[in-house]
Structure 1
Amino acid sequence: MYSEQQRTDEPADGSVHFSVLGPLEVLRDGVDYAPSAPKVLALLAVLVMRPGKMVHIDTLIRELWSDNPPRTVRTTLHTYVYHLRRCIMQNDLAEDAEKLLATKQSGYTFNIDPSQVDTHRFVRLQQLGYERQAAGDHAGAADACRAALDLWSGPPLANIHCGPVLSAYRTELLELRRSVLHLRIEAEIVSGRHRELIGELRSLTTGSPLDEALHGQLMRALGRSGRRSDAMAVYRMLRTRLAGELGVEPCDDLQSLHRELISEGDHR
């Protein structure tokens, strides 16, 4: 069951884990020990992004200062590393702060296990969702995806002013979330929960007016609910918007779905 998989990945009581699917938090027993200084927090985010792997010093400099580093950039970076280690030590987050945040010849390694980061649990549940969908267990796939989405508390790294490195990472996370959302909705449509999805899909398409995949799912949910005319109205509205804003027609999948709706009407 997905719940068993989720419990396997969750940190034990008293251990430290890191949340990036929302504000960056350093959590132990429900208390957040993340540093408050913006640059130190951004430094931590880049290190958490690559748990247990060396992050090159140039990557850290690019994130913290983009193309305008100070003359004393390496000294300043060492100071931020010192403050992060001090935060670790003062809050008793590790037995040895220098072993947890280890200095390497060309960068730093944050020696945490990937399972201590909420993205690890998110990806595991995402994979479980795809496996269950492929096996025909659509309700189980929806459950796994729902558990993955429940890990999110807001936009990723919401409390950080992201530079180029973290901005790219945040974009990647948002795309992963979007794929899991689409999979969850697809699994629920196939498992027969199409009527319950209509309100949510209308809200989602309003927020993403050019997302053709979401509009296609709304059309299918409406069509399966006996609301063929509403489904076709969704197609017409999207087609008008795509033509007006982008100068393109709906994708082939949507055009095929539209033809299917017309054909169903002709055969009634």
Structure 2
Amino acid sequence: MRFRILGPLEVATDHDEGATPQALKLRSLLATLCVHADRVVSTQRLINALWGGAPPRTASTALQVYISKLRRHFGNLGVGSSIIATQSPGYVLRLKHHSLDLRQFDSTVLQAREAVIASLPHEAAQLLSEAIQLWNGPALADVRATPTLNGYARQLEERRNATYEQRLELELGLGRHGELIGELYGLVHDHPMWENLHAYLMIALYRSGRIRECLRAYSNIRQALVEEIGVEPCALLRNLHHAVLSREARLDDPSQSLLTSSPSDPVGRQADRAALRHATR
């Protein structure tokens, strides 16, 4: 079986036959188990994921019913009901030989970190690109009805965002600024308040000799921030803007990490933060 949660919840057999449960409660339950795959999820956490802060008095019984239905669902697919095991204080999804896109994402990002450590930036950038391509929209897109599930989804998306920045940092360091401009314009359109993306766009435009567009990119994010939330751009953007106006030589040097304090391991540092968020949720 193949499980996907980096987008809408999807389950497919090894023969690419759709096997996603139809009922929202079953999908929400399965999504929560997938987020914590091979780890025990307590009964209380599952109840919170299914009903939020106002569960019915019969929530424990209803949860047992939903677990039974999920087991029957997988049993009918020939997987075996043991894929969902009872283990105090709750239940655990045992993946064994089954695949999960989140696990593949984490593994690919880890490989990228190892490639950076081994001074293989081209390979690292390619691996990060492959990790991002595993995403098929917002995480848990069809099951974010409760604060718990929405919180899980936001944590996953933060890890995707960190991966985006890691890849952009590496690509700029490899001198691929011209190739990134189109992608960056699309990203800032989709994420108009994500300041670092605007900074990457400014750098890519500047290094491509498109100074007017670079300055316009700063003007656009500044205007959006001031008009919509009443704040000036962050210090990083302001300093970058000043550097562009001064035509500082460091802007043309791909080895200069203009958005991080330590350019030696951008993947490792951000991966560490993502792993910490993942471990403590």
TM-score > 0.5, shorter chain as reference: yes
Residues 265, 88 of structure 1: alpha-carbon distance in 2 compared, 3 angstrom cutoff: closer
Corresponding residue of 2:113: 130
SS at match of 2:247: helix
Q: Does 1:143 align with 2:122?
A: no
Q: Return the TM-score normalized by structure 2.
A: 0.81
Q: Residues 46-65 of structure 1: matches in 2 within 5 Å?
A: 46-65=32-51
Let me know the Cα RMSD of the aligned residues: 2.0
Contact residue 144 and residue 153 of structure 2 kept, 8 A: no
Once the two structures are superposed, residues 182-213 of structure 1 have per-residue CA deviations (whole angstroms, 9 ceiling, x without a partner) of: 22222222212211211221121122222110
Q: Does 1:85 align with 2:68?
A: no
Corresponding residue of 2:241: 258
Per-residue deviation at 1:237? 2.3
Q: Aligned equivalents of 1:210 and 1:75: distance in 2?
A: 44
Corresponding residue of 2:6: 21
Contact residue 20 and residue 27 of structure 2 kept, 8 A: yes
Per-residue deviation at 1:265? 7.8
Amino acid at match of 1:35: P
Contact residue 22 and residue 153 of structure 1 kept, 8 A: yes
Q: Aligned equivalents of 1:32 and 1:137: distance in 2?
A: 38
Corresponding residue of 2:207: 224
Q: Residues 130-209 of structure 1: matches in 2 within 5 Å?
A: 130-209=113-192
Structure 1 residue ranges (4+ consecutive) displaced by more than 4 angstroms after TM superposition: none
Long gaps (5+) in structure 1:
1-15
SS at match of 1:31: coil
Contact residue 112 and residue 125 of structure 2 kept, 8 A: yes
Q: 1:106 aligns with which of 57, 81, 89?
A: 89
Amino acid at match of 2:159: L
Amino acid at match of 2:104: R
Per-residue deviation at 1:176? 1.1
Q: Aligned equivalents of 1:199 and 1:256: distance in 2?
A: 24
Residues 252, 131 of structure 1: alpha-carbon distance in 2 compared, 3 angstrom cutoff: farther
Q: Does 1:239 align with 2:218?
A: no
Per-residue deviation at 1:134? 4.9
Per-residue deviation at 1:114? 9.2
Once the two structures are superposed, residues 81-111 of structure 1 have per-residue CA deviations (whole angstroms, 9 ceiling, x without a partner) of: 11111101111113xx1x3222234311222
Which shows bigger deviation, 169-178 or 242-251?
A: 242-251
Q: Aligned equivalents of 1:162 and 1:139: distance in 2?
A: 40
Paired positions, count? 248
Contact residue 115 and residue 121 of structure 1 kept, 8 A: no
Corresponding residue of 2:265: none
Q: Does 1:44 align with 2:23?
A: no
Q: Aligned equivalents of 1:227 and 1:114: distance in 2?
A: 50
Residues 41, 68 of structure 1: alpha-carbon distance in 2 compared, 3 angstrom cutoff: same
Once the two structures are superposed, residues 7-63 of structure 1 have per-residue CA deviations (whole angstroms, 9 ceiling, x without a partner) of: xxxxxxxxx231111221222221221221111111111111111221111111111
Corresponding residue of 2:268: none
Q: Does 1:66 align with 2:48?
A: no
Q: Aligned equivalents of 1:205 and 1:87: distance in 2?
A: 42
Residues 245, 135 of structure 1: alpha-carbon distance in 2 compared, 3 angstrom cutoff: farther
> Which has more radius of gyration?
1
Q: Aligned equivalents of 2:107 and 2:121: distance in 1?
A: 17
